[in-house]
């Protein structure tokens, strides 16, 4: 709503007859009284017009000044709020790169970097009432019992073979460190801490070490153990090869003839010049080796890993960061330690923090105590950069992979089939990413989705596999297929998938279905925000 004021002004007087004009009279043409009164009235009108004009200019100038003053006040108030918020997490070893406030989460995100090593630090600062009270009262020692305290450090790890070195390192660094030289510190934390989350994960292109606790002292202890584990692990020090052998792979002798990947060895007793042969079984062992043997016995896992290897022939995603049991025993201890020193450096690290102001300040100090012992290593980060896989297939690439199945039956097929598409070979903007999410919801998101419904009604397989859109890697992909397919129906399934997608391209989607997909995505985001609020995060 707006208000408009209109001024009624007298008509402007011709400048030729203004009060500054010179009027010449003669005796032959005397100026009568009517003309004199008319001239006087014109002069008065001109003066009134000038007064009104000056008043209008004053009012307009005053309005402009007040509006400008209001804008400046709001800007200064906003900047003052930011200064007040972020000055509380100031630390001389770090420099703020950016900060943003997300109203949906009622929280601030502050991105910093460590000045000496360029390690990135992301701080999630909830705008809770308790935080505001502690800021106003300068009582930072008070802590909210509901506030989740989270620390995480990740390194971009780029494997270039299938030996599983990132996975073996993830296990090994948590098997003792310089400050905590115990055999299994991770198991001690699992049993004796008040953690709400405690784990370590190896992804295709990164290794992550997150911990969380709602107890301040417990959080400090967890963070201290993890920092010392990733920056001073015993597994890469002199005498640490036994950790590599325990967690990665080793030869072991058994007295039983059962077991996979075995060879025989002969022992000889020469005490009385008689040779006694004692047959022993040599077998590969190791925590990661055994874990991946189980993974590679699962057909669904093998199919997913082989699909990614075909889709990314030129990048690190071609290799299995978890390790292929066939290649794990080819990893040497030297390559293991070289990989650690190449990627486990602060310059290649990203650190995440959330909690109360005091927790964050204390964590920043503890993190700096480790980081400042290192120097900047630009190669560590540049060497870990992952390039985009270009779309260079002229036609679909097909491959058949055998796997162990249960006993074949007449009524049920044992084949599995998927088609996987690489969706992008460059960074996508937010609008395009959202479009892919909506499209995935429309195709497979609910029982009435057209692609999902078509495959389920086809009876060409027992269940859908592929899981649709994948967003966990640098590039998006979309996979769809079925398991329990009879051999003679594999080509029919491929044709059905392609025909359904072609039909969608022509017919499009119903507007109501699009609106429903958007609502579903919005509800999913809102639900996650609500759960964060309930959990005090």
pLDDT digits (tens, 9 = 90+) for 317-369: 999 999 999 999 999 999 999 999 999 999 999 999 998 888 899 999 999 99
- The values of phi and psi at residue 297, to 5°, are -90, -5
Q: What is the pLDDT of residue 21?
A: 36
Q: Which active-site residues does the annotation give? A: 170, 247
Q: Please state at what angle helix 216-231 crosses helix 185-192, rounded to 10 degrees.
A: 170
pLDDT tier, 435 (very low <50, low <70, confident <90, very high otherwise): very high
Q: Determine whether 258 is exposed, middle or buried from the number of CB atoms within 10 Å of its CB (0-12, 13-18, 19+).
A: exposed
- The values of phi and psi at residue 201, to 5°, are -135, 140
Angle of CA points 478, 451, 303, to nearest 5°: 40
Q: What is the pLDDT of residue 43?
A: 75
Q: What is the pLDDT of residue 140?
A: 39
**Which residue(s) pair with 481 in the sheet?**
418, 465
Angle of CA points 385, 344, 358, to nearest 5°: 105
* pLDDT mean over 88-95: 87
Helix (H) or strand (E) holding 389: none
Q: What is the rounded CA–CA span in Å between residue 32 and residue 100? A: 79
Beta pairing, strands 250-254 & 278-285: antiparallel
Residue 375 has pLDDT above 70, yes or no: yes
| Token reading at 346 | 């602060």
Same fold, 90-247+299-382 and 415-534: yes
Helix (H) or strand (E) holding 232: none
Q: What is the pLDDT of residue 255?
A: 54
Coil, helix or strand at residue 115: coil
Handedness of CA 463, 464, 465, 471 (dihedral sign): negative
| Token reading at 534 | 């309930």
Of the candidate CATH numbers 3.40.50.880, 3.30.720.120, 3.30.830.10, 3.40.50.150, the domain formed by 415-534 belongs to 3.30.830.10
pLDDT tier, 160 (very low <50, low <70, confident <90, very high otherwise): very high
Residue-wise pLDDT for 229-263, tens only, equals: 999 999 999 999 999 999 999 998 875 544 455 55
Mean pLDDT across the chain: 82
Domain ranges of the chain: 15-84, 90-247+299-382, 415-534
Q: Are 509 and 438 in contact (CB under 8 A)?
A: no
Lowest mean pLDDT among 63-67, 85-89, 197-201: 85-89
Coil, helix or strand at residue 131: helix
Q: Where are the alpha helices (DSSP H) in 88-164?
A: 129-137
| Token reading at 130 | 């308790």
More confident residue, 407 or 108: 108
Residue-wise pLDDT for 440-486, tens only, equals: 999 999 888 999 999 999 999 999 999 899 999 999 999 999 999 99
0.75 cut: is pTM over it?
A: yes
289-292 contacts, C-beta under 8 A, 24 or more apart? 289/248, 289/249, 289/323, 289/325, 289/328, 289/329, 291/322, 292/164, 292/167, 292/322, 292/323, 292/324, 292/325, 292/328
pLDDT tier, 411 (very low <50, low <70, confident <90, very high otherwise): low
Q: Say if domain 90-247+299-382 classifies as CATH 3.30.830.10.
A: yes
Q: What is the pLDDT of residue 133?
A: 42
């Amino acid at each position: 709503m707006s208000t408009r004021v209109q001024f009624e002004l007298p008509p402007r007087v011709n400048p030729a007859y203004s009060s500054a004009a010179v009027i010449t009279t003669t005796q032959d043409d005397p100026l009568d009284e009517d003309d004199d009164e008319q001239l006087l009235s014109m002069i008065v009108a001109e003066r009134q017009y000038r007064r009104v004009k000056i008043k209008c200019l004053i009012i307009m100038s005053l309005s402009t000044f007040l509006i400008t003053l209001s804008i400046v006040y709001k800007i200064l108030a906003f900047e003052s709020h930011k200064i007040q918020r972020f000055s509380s997490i100031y630390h001389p070893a770090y420099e703020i790169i950016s900060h943003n406030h997300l109203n949906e989460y009622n929280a601030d995100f502050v991105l910093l970097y460590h000045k000496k090593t360029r390690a990135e630090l992301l701080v999630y600062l909830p705008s809770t009432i308790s935080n505001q009270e502690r800021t106003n009262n300068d009582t930072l020692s008070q802590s909210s019992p509901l506030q989740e305290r989270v620390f995480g450090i990740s390194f971009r790890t780029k494997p270039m073979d299938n030996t599983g070195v990132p996975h073996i390192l993830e296990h090994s660094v948590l098997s003792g460190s310089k400050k905590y030289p115990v055999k299994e510190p991770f198991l001690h934390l699992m049993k004796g801490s008040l953690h709400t989350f405690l784990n370590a994960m190896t992804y295709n292109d990164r290794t992550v070490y997150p911990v969380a606790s709602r107890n301040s002292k417990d959080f400090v202890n967890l963070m201290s153990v993890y920092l010392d584990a990733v920056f001073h692990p015993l597994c890469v020090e002199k005498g640490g090869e036994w950790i590599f052998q325990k967690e990665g792979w080793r030869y072991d002798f058994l007295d039983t003839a059962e077991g996979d990947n075995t060879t025989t060895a002969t022992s000889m007793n020469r005490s009385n010049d008689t040779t006694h042969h004692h047959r022993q079984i040599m077998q590969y062992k190791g925590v990661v080796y055994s874990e991946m043997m189980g993974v590679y016995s699962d057909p669904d896992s093998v199919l997913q890993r082989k699909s990614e290897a075909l889709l990314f022939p030129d990048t690190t995603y071609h290799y299995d960061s978890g390790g292929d049991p066939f290649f794990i025993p080819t990893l040497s201890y030297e390559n293991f330690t070289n990989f650690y020193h190449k990627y486990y450096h602060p310059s290649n690290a990203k650190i995440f923090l959330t909690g109360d102001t005091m927790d964050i300040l204390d964590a920043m100090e503890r993190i700096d105590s480790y980081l400042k012992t290192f120097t900047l290593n630009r190669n560590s980060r540049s060497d870990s950069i992952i390039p985009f896989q270009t779309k260079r297939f002229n036609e679909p690439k097909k491959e058949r992979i055998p796997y162990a199945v249960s006993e074949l039956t007449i009524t049920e097929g044992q084949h599995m089939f998927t088609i996987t598409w690489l969706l992008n070979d460059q960074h996508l903007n937010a609008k395009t990413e959202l479009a892919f999410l909506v499209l995935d919801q429309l195709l497979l998101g609910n029982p009435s989705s057209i692609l999902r419904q078509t495959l389920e009604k086809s009876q060409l397989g027992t269940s859908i596999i592929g899981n649709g859109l994948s967003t966990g890697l640098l590039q998006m992909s979309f996979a769809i297929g079925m398991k329990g397919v009879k051999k003679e129906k594999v080509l029919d399934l491929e044709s059905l998938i392609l025909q359904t997608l072609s039909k969608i391209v022509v017919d499009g989607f119903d507007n109501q279905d699009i609106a429903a997909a958007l609502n579903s995505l919005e509800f999913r985001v809102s639900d996650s925000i609500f759960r964060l609020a309930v959990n005090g995060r």
